[in-house]
Amino acid sequence: MKIAMGNDHAATGLKWVIKEYVEGMGHEVVNFGTDDNESCDYPAFGKAVGEAVAKGEADCGILICGTGVGISIAANKVKGVRAAVCSDVTTAHLVKEHNNANIIAFGARIVGEELAKDIVKSYLTAEFEGGRHQRRIDLIHDIEG
């Protein structure tokens, strides 16, 4: 699977840990984030990952900022993106199973390295259930216009 990854300065360290972890699972990671700790603007990275996923250039995305919230809001402005903030493993697999989220986000200031790995694994191994959930996703897409 090809995974787009984006981060801001608050999450550079955790980005490298997660990138290595995801590659160790056999996935390809495309880095759209900053590689240093200089202050930068997370919306650009959320947009870049959102566009890559929406265009089909990546199968899904992982976003990391201080809380995961700001960068996910930016990604969700891209038509076709369903980015969800996850701070626990249950949410991580449910956003895939029920919402078919194509991007997850979490906060480097909120979750530690091991929990972040567990969240990523839970998300990447979950499968969309379809059925009644697809109808709801269609309704979400109708809102996009």
Residues taking part in catalysis: 65, 98
Displacement of CA 14 from its chain's centroid (Å) = 14
Helix-helix angle 69-76:42-54, to 10 degrees = 50
What phi and psi, each to the nearest 5 degrees, are found at residue 131? 60, -130
N- to C-terminal Cα distance for the chain? 29
Dist CA 34 CA 50 (whole Å): 16
